[in-house]
């Protein structure tokens, strides 16, 4: 089994396109009509959909940490700083995570790219 990804609105489109070309299940916040929605609501939405959120927004790290400390469940966050990882590296690493991990492997955790 693999994990499905939920892309934050700031994620460059070529990452989403590259993942889809590799058979990864990806849904963007734009496609889900959740553009401009606060991060806590996006994390709840991702969990509701059974998807791990991918973001390049530092605020997701704060929200994920708060939930970890307070024991609030979330489906998981994958984070990559925009300056520290290329689009190609994001696609490669996200594909690896999506195809190699089970949904429970990401629950209540933050994974950082590059791997």
* Angle made by CA atoms 12, 113, 21, in degrees to the nearest 5: 50
Digitized pLDDT (tens) for each residue of the chain, 115 residues in all: 689 999 999 999 999 999 999 999 999 999 999 999 999 999 999 999 999 999 999 988 999 999 999 999 999 999 999 888 999 999 999 999 999 998 789 999 999 999 9
Say how far apart CA 18 and CA 87 lie, in whole Å: 9
pTM of the model: 0.95
Around 19, how many Cα atoms within 13 Å sit in the side-chain half-sphere?
27
How many Å apart are CA 15 and CA 41, to the nearest integer?
23
Asked if residue 65 lies in contact with residue 98, where contact means CB atoms within 8 angstroms, the answer is: no
CA–CA distance from 57 to each of 62, 69, 99, 100 (Å)?
10, 20, 23, 24
- Give all domains of the chain, ordered by start, each with its CATH number: 4-113 (3.40.50)
């Amino acid at each position: 089994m693999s994990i499905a990804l939920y892309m934050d609105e700031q994620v460059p489109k070529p990452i989403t396109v590259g993942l889809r070309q590799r058979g990864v299940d990806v849904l963007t916040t734009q496609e889900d009509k959740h553009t401009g929605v606060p991060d806590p609501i996006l994390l709840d939405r991702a969990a509701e959909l059974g998807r791990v959120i991918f973001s390049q927004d530092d605020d997701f790290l704060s929200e994920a940490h708060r939930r970890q400390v307070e024991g609030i469940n979330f489906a998981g966050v994958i984070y990559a700083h925009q300056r520290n990882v290329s689009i190609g590296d994001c696609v490669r690493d996200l594909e690896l995570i999506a195809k190699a991990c089970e949904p429970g492997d990401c629950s209540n955790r933050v994974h950082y790219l590059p791997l």
